[in-house]
Structure 1
Amino acid sequence: MSKVNLNQIIGKRLKQIRAERGLSLDKLAQLTEVSKPMLGQIERGESNPTVSTLWKIANGLKVPFTTFIEEEKPFIQKVNRREIEPLIEEKGVVQVYPLFPKEYQKPFEIFSLILQPGCNHQSDPHAYGVEEYIFIEKGTMELKIAEETFTVGEGEGIRFSAHYKHNYANKGEEDAIATMIIYYSL
């Protein structure tokens, strides 16, 4: 990103947050301890704010510093599993489609998981605080979490702390298809 472009992005984000919160420039200056003229210049992209100025603004608005420099994500994003390249494991019997991969500052990611008949996939433990949410769309999965085994069928879901060893198995005659959300505590 060029410097001018970055100034425009910072200004646009600041103006957007101020508008969403119904704040005047005077009130924003009061919250952030940054002068009203400086805030106006930043919003118009006319000023190259220092890191310390951005920190003051972020702290005053109680938003992460990166709020002002992250690339803008589309307001709406539509995905189609058929158009996503799957991650393949176990010689193709496990297919993982990253529907909504983890983004910076988002504590989750969403996958579509397909286990072919006979699949038995061992997953290593995740970091402490990570949770998995699995909802079965089709078929049945047998999940072994720590030392407990659960059978989860079509239309059912399960949530578990994923810092334990866990295993996914499809003992049925058809593909087991699930939507999986992995949540990362912040």
Structure 2
Amino acid sequence: MDDTFALRLRHARDERGLSLSELARRSRIGKGTISELENGRRGARLDTLFALSTALEVPLGELIPSAGGDEPPVVAGDSVIATPLATWRSGGETIEAYRASVTTTTQHSEAHGAGVDETVTVIRGRVALGPEPLERELGPGDSLRYPGDVPHVFTALGGEAEVILLMHYPASARRERHAQ
């Protein structure tokens, strides 16, 4: 990851008044790892980015670094390699769009923030995804919206697949978390 990611992470933590120890506790990521990320000495995988964005109560896109130049940023997990396409707000909800390649390795995702949903539309190939153990199989043209605030899985079936992923972050969930 680049300095932009390090700066975004540190800014988000400082803005919320969280110590390294508190962010480590909330995200279940080691304090040393977070320090290395904030100092640009280490890169973050998709699962780490999700854990941090959930703990900081920000959409994933607020932490994704820019790739620099004309290249779009890319984030990777066990099964998913995603490129951000757009972010917009509608009725208080923040929606982030990603184009993602999915491999046959299963991506186990922890619960994201309260009220977060995911919508996946398959472009090419077949995938199994959704809350564990209720995954659904989808093919080209199929879409599914499911809760992202519970553990869920993502895997391609029979070879690599390509999808559009929408992350829905409701404003009401952020307000409820801030009120606690």
* TM-score computed with the length of structure 2 as normaliser: 0.50
Paired positions, count? 101
Instruction: Specify the alignment match of 1:89 in structure 2.
Output: 77
Q: 2: CA distance between counterparts of 1:170 and 1:146? A: 15
The one-letter code matched in structure 2 to 1:119 is T
Cα root mean square deviation, aligned: 2.3
Using the TM superposition, give the Cα deviation of residue 85 of structure 1 relative to its aligned residue in structure 2, in angstroms.
2.9
Larger radius of gyration, structure 1 or 2? 1
Using the TM superposition, give the Cα deviation of residue 89 of structure 1 relative to its aligned residue in structure 2, in angstroms.
2.2
Matched-pair identity in %: 19
Flag structure 1 segments of 5+ consecutive residues without an equivalent.
Answer: 1-81
- Answer yes or no: is the 8 Å Cα contact 1:119–1:171 preserved in 2: no
- Answer yes or no: is the 8 Å Cα contact 2:125–2:157 preserved in 1: no
User: What pairs with 1:43-122 in structure 2 (closer than 5 Å)?
Assistant: 83-90=71-78, 93-101=79-87, 107-116=94-103, 118-122=104-108
Using the TM superposition, give the Cα deviation of residue 155 of structure 1 relative to its aligned residue in structure 2, in angstroms.
0.6
Aligned to 1:170, the other structure's residue is in SS state: strand
Q: 2: CA distance between counterparts of 1:94 and 1:147? A: 19
The one-letter code matched in structure 2 to 1:179 is I
* TM-score computed with the length of structure 1 as normaliser: 0.49
Instruction: Specify the alignment match of 1:184 in structure 2.
Output: 169
Q: Does 1:140 align with 2:126?
A: yes
Aligned to 1:119, the other structure's residue is in SS state: coil
Moved segments of 4+, more than 6 Å: none
Distance 1:125 1:102, change over 3 A: farther
Q: 1: CA distance between counterparts of 2:147 and 2:130? A: 12
**Which is richer in strand?**
2
Q: 1: CA distance between counterparts of 2:127 and 2:115? A: 23
Flag structure 2 segments of 5+ consecutive residues without an equivalent.
Answer: 1-69, 172-180
